[in-house]
A = this chain, B = another copy of it.
Amino acid sequence: MSTSPESAEPARIREAVAADWPAVWPFLHEIVAAGETYTYPRDLGEETARAMWMLSAPSRTVVAVDPGTGVVLGTAKMNPNHMGGASHIASASFMVDPAHAGRGVGRALGEYVLAWARAEGYRAMQFNAVVESNTRAVALWKSLGFEIVATLPEGFLHPTLGYVGLHIMYQRL
């Protein structure tokens, strides 16, 4: 993947390291505190967030960085969704800095985690909680092959919209 700032690549994706956290936390915190898209506690503290987000093997956390400047644009974590007899189903979570939205970072991260899951031998990927009103994310996941397999009615209390549905999205790999 090119590292030229003129590259058409929206982002370069690499393993997250501990030194990335100070760049991740501000936008992760902004997204979680807004409480519109993630089923995380809105008052999530930094140390808890770090433990939840910065995973170790066999799970993984990556950052998407600007190919020219190295600025962190977004991050994803990927992990088994279930254990035991369902451990062949993966999951993943994504945070894109709102300041860098709309330039394809989420799509690049989504493609990356699907490739990871296939390479690791997972047979499916399941997202457990996609907020119905997060229409941009829903459309992105659909475009990457996910289907809405269920919508939990009034599954999510949105801070301004009230109760909205919570999608479970799934795709076989």
Q: Which residue of B lies closest to A151 (CB)?
A: B149
Task: Tell me which residues from 121 to 173 in chain A have a Cβ below 8 Å from any Cβ of chain B.
Answer: 123-124, 126, 128-129, 131, 149-159, 166, 168, 170, 172
B residues within 8 A CB of A40? Answer: 83-84
Residues of A in contact (CB 8 Å), total 36
In the docked arrangement, what's the CA distance between A150 and B41, Å?
Answer: 26
Q: Oligomeric state, in number of copies?
A: 2
Are A85 and B39 in touch, CB under 8 angstroms? yes
Listed in ascending order, the chain A residues whose CB lies under 8 Å from chain B are 32, 35, 38-42, 82-89, 123-124, 126, 128-129, 131, 149-159, 166, 168, 170, 172
Q: List 18 A-B contacts (CB under 8 A).
A: A35-B85, A39-B82, A39-B84, A39-B85, A39-B87, A40-B83, A41-B84, A85-B159, A86-B152, A86-B156, A89-B152, A124-B152, A128-B128, A149-B151, A150-B150, A150-B168, A152-B170, A168-B168
